């Protein structure tokens, strides 16, 4: 498998630079004291569309041929990728067709509509999402941009770790959440290129632990019946990302929903910033395994801040 090179990831960063924020890195003395290590939070909750997904979607859209652009793009997503692709398409002046399950959060549907995406609703299961998407692609001729298991998307997500390690090169560990694995795969690949001694560790919810089980089994174990507050991490691990994770990720640590809620609350109270539950999982996993991180410099990618403020878990 030919994965993106460091030059490819740098080229992606140049390509998407006009369309994304270079997000800040924040620290909290209070959280460092609680954690027993030094944490550097890469704030993708401040990113366009409120999540790191803006990177991969922008990269994929900007790499389309003129012929592909004319017919637009399509995807299935219940959340941040949907908004990110709709926005990237809007910036490029092309149509987007977004298949969303009927139970997708209202805040995320509003975001897609706000960026000019056409929403096609389906039953809330993977088969319905895939068959509805096939029909949309057949009707429109749009190019399918997968949410995470797609090289152009992984390459775009890798630009987040590129910025983190340019701004904070002396990290011992980099952490990211894992759902489909696009962010984790891109992060692990970039960290490997820039400094192979950096450990890459993922956080995953106990109620959606397919990446953890797959990592330890050495083969993909599909997600079945996930049940977690971290709604951005419900999806099954992608095949390309699994390969990257096997090669370049050092460990996957689990966090329960109560631990995730506690970590989320800690960030709200101590840092005064908005993060979504999925985003809090790596910090929750770190706090549940403090011995692993004692005295280390840890970069945590805060993946997004799209949370329904009317339904906060605390």
Going 101 to 182 to 309 to 312, the CA torsion angle's sign is positive
Through-space distance between the first and last CA atoms of the chain, rounded to whole angstroms: 44
CA 199 remoteness from chain centre: 19
Rounded distance between C-alpha atoms, residue 277 and residue 24, angstroms: 20
Rounded distance between C-alpha atoms, residue 68 and residue 50, angstroms: 27
Rounded distance between C-alpha atoms, residue 296 and residue 32, angstroms: 10
Rounded distance between C-alpha atoms, residue 233 and residue 221, angstroms: 15
E strand segments, the chain: 25-26, 38-43, 73-76, 96-101, 118-122, 143-144, 173-177, 199-205, 251-255, 297-302
**Tokens 């395994």, residue located:** 289
Q: Is 303 a catalytic residue?
A: yes
Rounded distance between C-alpha atoms, residue 187 and residue 159, angstroms: 8
- Inter-residue contact 134 to 97 (CB < 8 Å): no
CA 302 remoteness from chain centre: 9
Q: Choosing from 42, 53, 108, 109, which is the catalytic residue? A: 53
The helix or strand, by DSSP H or E, that contains position 157, with its residue range, turns out to be: helix 151-167
Rounded distance between C-alpha atoms, residue 4 and residue 151, angstroms: 7
Q: Is 102 a catalytic residue?
A: no
Rounded distance between C-alpha atoms, residue 38 and residue 50, angstroms: 25
Q: What angle do CA 263, 148, 20 make, to 5 degrees?
A: 75
Annotated catalytic residues are 53, 303
């Amino acid at each position: 498998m030919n994965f993106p090179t460091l030059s490819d990831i740098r080229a992606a960063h140049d390509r998407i630079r006009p369309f994304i924020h270079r997000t800040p890195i924040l620290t909290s003395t209070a959280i460092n004291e609680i954690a027993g290590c030094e944490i550097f939070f890469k704030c993708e909750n401040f990113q366009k569309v409120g999540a790191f997904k803006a990177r991969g979607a922008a990269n994929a859209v900007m790499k389309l041929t003129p012929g592909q652009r004319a017919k637009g793009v399509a995807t299935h997503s219940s959340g941040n990728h949907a908004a990110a692709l709709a926005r990237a398409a809007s910036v490029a002046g092309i149509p987007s067709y977004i298949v969303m399950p009927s139970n997708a959060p209202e805040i995320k549907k509003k975001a897609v509509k706000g960026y000019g995406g056409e929403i096609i609703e389906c039953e809330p299961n993977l088969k319905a999402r895939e068959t509805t998407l096939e029909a949309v692609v057949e009707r429109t001729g749009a190019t399918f941009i997968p949410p995470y298991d797609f090289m152009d998307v992984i390459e775009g997500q890798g630009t987040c770790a590129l910025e983190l390690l340019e701004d904070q090169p002396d990290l011992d560990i980099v952490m990211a959440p894992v759902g489909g694995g696009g962010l984790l795969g891109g992060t692990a690949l970039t960290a490997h290129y820039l400094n192979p001694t950096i450990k890459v560790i993922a956080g995953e919810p106990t109620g959606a632990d397919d990446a953890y089980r797959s990592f330890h089994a050495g083969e993909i174990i599909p997600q079945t019946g996930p049940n977690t507050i971290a709604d951005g991490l419900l999806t099954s691990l992608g095949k390309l990302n699994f390969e990257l994770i096997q090669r370049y990720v050092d460990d996957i640590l689990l966090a329960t929903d109560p631990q995730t809620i506690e970590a989320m609350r800690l960030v709200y109270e101590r840092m005064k910033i908005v993060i979504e539950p999925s985003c809090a999982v790596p910090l929750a996993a770190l706090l549940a395994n403090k011995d692993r991180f004692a005295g280390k410099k840890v970069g945590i990618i805060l993946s997004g801040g799209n949370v329904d403020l009317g339904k906060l878990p605390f």
